[in-house]
Structure 1
Amino acid sequence: MRLRLFHHRDGARVAFRETGVGPALILLHSAGLSYREYEPIVGELQDRFRLVLPDLPLHGDSEDRPRHPYTLDWYAEVMAAFCRDVGGPRPLVAGHGAGAEILLRAVTTGQLRPGRLIVMPNRLHRAGEPDATERFVRVLARGASAPVLDRTLTHAARLGIRPERGMTLTARGNPAARDLIRHAMADVGGNANLARAWARAVRRWPRGPQLDLLEAYPRIAAPTLLLWADEDVRHPLATAEEALNLLPDAQLRVLPGTGFLIAYDDPVGVARELVAFCR
């Protein structure tokens, strides 16, 4: 994969990898991970698409300075500009977790007009219950804005979020998910800038239900695929069904035996659904 950089007009840097040939397909990963969330499906897709795999700001090799607001609106602005730059005016875009929330905000605010929109498990319009890791991160974030504690808490985060956490995010206990977490946490320890920036992001990311989406769904004109897991307890199928009933041009596909890391549980199924929807 080739590593490239996109620079937003406000100075934020988005690192991304690309590989393959064909129309660009941009995949946005979940919070706390990196572009490697999609590694299991690269081999299945790179002969059909130019895969574009960015690291979201505060992840991987992308922006980590605490100078930016790191609100959902800011993420939507930055990533919408990125998608237009690398994918053209009507890109094919997909998101999972926080990546899906960012795409939905960009689309519903008119900053992004995708040719096709793929939404994988996320909380959509519901509040969602934080798991133990999210609660742990929020506790650390409350202290990370203090100059004395910021560096220390990055080491605590690395110790507290172990590679084995990845296996619990899959329905099939895929051991390869350990490397995903290991890579995501590799450069966290000692990074005071990242700690302060994450503290800002955690405080400003919306936690409650996003009821405005219920009004916005009918205005999403792009063909939309809701690609869901049937064993992701934090993102129940019922939420996707509620959205499906309001989206004007949408379909719902459910992959059996999959959890939150849907691409690690069934890479062939995820790739098959993306190809069928985007062709």
Structure 2
Amino acid sequence: MLEKKAIKENYFKVLESVYEKEEINALFKWISEDLAYLPEPQQKELFNGYLAKLALKQPLQQILGYAYFYNLKLKVNEHVLIPRPETEELVYMILQELKKTSNQEILDVGTGSGCIAISLKKNLPAAQVHAIDISEEALKLAKANATENGVEVHFKKDNALALKADDYPKFHIIVSNPPYIATSEKQNMHDNVVNFEPHLALFVEDENPLIFYDKIADFAQTNLYPNGLLLFEINQNLAVETQELIQKKGFKAQIIKDLNNNNRFIKAQLLG
């Protein structure tokens, strides 16, 4: 018989220097549910294997190979960011904007796992959702996630810093959660992020931390319909600077706080 109590005690013993007690409880609960239908010998082997990886601070979502986002189950791996709750707020914001409309054209820039694009398409079946990423590995995973969740998203490999207006239609909404963490901030971040999640999707050079916002907003100037919306997840430490940058390009931009009361999003409307 599987000694669940002893296994749990061992988890606390090994992980107490890495995680808070509440986190260990949550991790153990998720693992227990994930392994529940496997034969006991296999469960024991995986419990031990997962514990070793958790002790190295690898995110559980990567270990299990999936994460939950906006009521969807999405594959994740080392090539994509693990979807965050804050990004769910961004999706909710867009759905509130579009709940009374249909046939919208939407572009997700830097799609990663596809979490934003797939969630939007799942909740707005009449919308045409496009998504781009520079990483072929990320796009491969995003396409698999779209297929598994039964939605059609138009995926394309492209560079967010070099988007060409003629390559795309006009959009009602452009959304992006681009890299926005300055390289100098790396030392203040948790090891489970820095050591296991893709730096390509996380970090920008200190000299130009708003480069993605600058280039995407330039593209949005030409490829948004008049009064179209540009929505970003942002670095809370550069909220005002990001707002000012976008407003100078002909947008009415507002900073929006997340549920933790941090400056987390920009919602900008193209004036015209």
- Structure number with higher relative contact order (C-alpha < 8 Å, ≥ 6 residues apart): 1
Q: TM-score range by the shorter chain?
A: 0.3 to 0.5
**When the two structures are superposed, what TM-score results if normalisation uses the length of structure 1?**
0.34
Q: Counting strand residues as a fraction of each chain, which structure ranks higher?
A: 2
- Bigger Rg over Cα: 2
The structure with more helix, counted as a fraction of residues:
2
